[in-house]
Amino acid sequence: MPIHPSRREFLSISLAGAAAAMGAPALAGSRQPSGQKGLNILILGGTGFIGPEQVEAARARGHTVTLFNRGRREKAKGGMFPDVEKLYGNRDPEKFADDPEPTGPKGLESLKGRQWDVVIDNSGYVPRITRASAELLAPNVKQYIFISTVSVYASHDTPGADEDAPLGTMADPTVETMGASFENYGPLKALCEQSIEAALPGRTTIIRPGYIVGPNDPTDRFTYWPVRLDRGGEVLVPGMPEDPVQVIDARDLGAWAILMAERGTTGIFNAVGPGQRLPMKGMIDECRKATSAASTLTWVDSKFLEGLPPAQQASFPIWTPSEGEYAGFGLRSNARAVAAGLTFRPTAETARDTLAWFKTLPAERQAALKAGPSAEAEAAILASWHESQKK
Ligand SMILES: NC(=O)c1ccc[n+]([C@@H]2O[C@H](COP(=O)([O-])OP(=O)(O)OC[C@H]3O[C@@H](n4cnc5c(N)ncnc54)[C@H](OP(=O)(O)O)[C@@H]3O)[C@@H](O)[C@H]2O)c1
């Protein structure tokens, strides 16, 4: 069965910026927070979307941070965290920071001979590459936190599935490309998890987020909704009001990663939110709180959307029809993560801050939302829908 557009989008945009680039028991152990001394934390990455939230959370808690990356995004953003130590190189031991130019620091060289309490790996997508960093760092860190994804799971058809659900596999685990439909992304991340656990048995924390959202999200997936509602008028909402969705604010994810470091908590955790079931209507209502624009909602049946002619096909971000192979996509269990201290801010707060952030962006960027249908495309689908309802 072809991958659903929203699901494909989840996979493809989760990979944004990644092109370059266990099965362990949960809660295997906990290092008690000393409350005395800050940790030395190495972040592999740190300058994209989720990394900066980890940096902020770590510094707010009195920890010392070192960033390792190629320096590209930092440069593109005009500099970041001037008072944080930066080490440059490339996750791929065979490449240089300036790849494809063979200049600048090579591979993981700049990490050699250094020690940290904890490493947080945001930028691992290929097991050969995560194995290299895990084996290099194993003698030099106490804990390895790996940011994985719920895409590791073989299926999404079971509501309430937890971290013990079967993982996706690949016929050829040496393949390093993501595949035409990004079908290798999840299985590759699963192999990355296993490569890290093999190098640091019992010292790994595997965090599997779903949609990560909030201010600075480069994908516009969640952002589409508060922005669209802020435009007002008749808003097309796909599916049924009760269709479940799951999102996690990058700030909550960042703070929790630091808590896991402070507590030395190891194991595997689904980092999906919020705390209770979030129906699509609930998410829309929360987003509406971010705007005073007048809007009406028109719910359009998923079968109708799927049956639209190719020219009218559109993808509505975050939402996935809650049936068949996606019946569990918005209902994955987060019980383990919540028990390990993961908390969620109100979705309305995420929507408010996301809209406020979006409005600070240059006009041309605001005019080019990266997710959801254009105003014209939405209007055309609404017209078709209303026409169909007359029959
Ligand atoms: N977005 C979502 O909804 C979602 C959902 C589930 C899971 N995830 C996971 O979230 C993680 C990505 O988050 P993020 O991009 O926001 O993390 P980030 O740590 O904020 O940014 C990615 C970092 O990796 C660095 N990097 C990229 N390629 C590199 C290389 N070859 N060598 C060294 N450094 C490299 C980038 O800097 P340079 O480019 O300057 O090197 C940047 O600092 C991934 O693990 C992804 O699977 C995301």
Tokens 């016929």 belong to residue: 171
Contact 384, 307 (CB under 8 A): no
Residues contacting residue 286 through CB under 8 Å, at least 6 positions apart: 346, 347, 348, 350, 351
- Ligand 1 centroid – CA 123 distance (Å): 4
Q: Is residue 29 scored above 50 in pLDDT?
A: no
Distance (Å, rounded) from C-alpha 250 to C-alpha 314? 26
Q: What is the DSSP string of 282-301?
A: HHHHHHHTT----EEEEEE-
Write down the pTM of the prediction: 0.93
Give the tens place of pLDDT for each residue, 51-110.
999 999 999 999 999 999 999 999 999 999 999 999 999 999 999 998 888 888 999 999
Angle, alpha carbons 42-92-204 (nearest 5°):
45
Atom of ligand 1 nearest to the CA of 47: 43
Kindly give the number of the ligand 1 atom that is closest to the alpha carbon of 16.
Answer: 15
- According to DSSP, the residues that pair with 146 across neighbouring strands are 121, 206
Which atom of ligand 1 is nearest the CA belonging to 146? 45
Asked whether residue 34 carries a pLDDT value surpassing 80, the answer given is no
Ligand 1 centre to CA of 231 (Å) is 31
Smallest Cα–Cα separation from 335: which of 202, 149, 163?
163
Residue 236 has pLDDT above 60, yes or no: yes
**Cβ pair 116, 141 in contact under 8 A:** yes
Interval between CA 17 and ligand 1 midpoint (Å)? 6
Whether residue 136 is predicted with pLDDT greater than 80 in this model: the reply is yes
Tell me the C-alpha distance between 68 and 91, whole Å: 9
Which atom of ligand 1 is closest in space to residue 49's alpha carbon? Answer: 16
Is pLDDT at 131 greater than 50 in this prediction? yes
Residues flanking ligand 1, CB < 6 Å: 14, 17, 20-21, 45-51, 69-74, 90-92, 122-123, 147, 149, 209, 211-212
